[in-house]
Amino acid sequence: MDNILHLETGILQVNTYIIVLNEKEAAVIDPGGNADEITALLKKHNLDLKAVVLTHSHFDHIGGADGLLKAFPQCKFYAHKAEAAYLGDNLKQKQCSAFGGGGFDFYIMQSLPESVRGPDVLLEGGETLFEDSLNFKGGFAVLHTPGHSAGSICLYCAAAGLLISGDTMFAGSCGRTDLTGGSEKEMKESLKRLSTLPKATQVLPGHGGTTTIADFPFGYFA
């Protein structure tokens, strides 16, 4: 898609999106790892990093955040307020306590630094980010979509017909709901809300290929 750069990053190959806001600035969504690679791509396109935004704070989506925040210390760090407890100091310990087990401890210990700066902006849902973007008119609405985690969010740009869905919505499926803060009931409610978006909306998920609202099997999750 125009004005979006894409990389697969981190130990679980998260879809990291670089949103080119204007000719000089960008925002990075879900830096799962590979901070040096993301930084090099930003510099290749002569872009300064305005913001890092997390759709949620699971270990596979945050591994590159610390490196980016250190490389671009003036950029703002955004996460939902329900995700903040899993960030900050003692990061590996927090993540293992919350999401360890089932083989995840290895991934957490291998992929995360000891700490990451706490969010500068705690989101609740209902905010609009990057309203002054020249490439994404009207900016991105923050949709609070709990289910995969308590503070999962999606970013929706109506003008561009674009939804960045994190692990709430994949092509043909949704994120798991059995981890800390997850809820099958809330996931169904979040998907029901997303089903009201225009059918042509392109969905960029946290893992795997893209889809559209029209192609998603909402009836299966009702």
Please give the domain boundaries of the chain with CATH numbers for all domains. Answer: 4-216 (3.60.15.10)
In which residue ranges of the chain is pLDDT below 70? none
Stated pTM of the model: 0.97
Quote the pLDDT of residue 100.
78
Considering the chain, what is the average pLDDT of its residues? 96
Beta bridge partners of 119: none
Residue type (1 letter), 158: A
Amino acid 97: pLDDT: 93
Alpha-carbon dihedral angle through residues 125, 129, 131, 136, given to the nearest 10 degrees: -110
Task: Give the pLDDT confidence of 16-39 residue by residue, as tens digits.
Answer: 999 999 999 999 999 999 999 999
pLDDT at res. 112: 96
115 CB contacts (<8 Å, ≥6 apart)? 66, 88, 89, 90, 91
pLDDT of residue 222: 82
- How high is the pLDDT of residue 40? 97
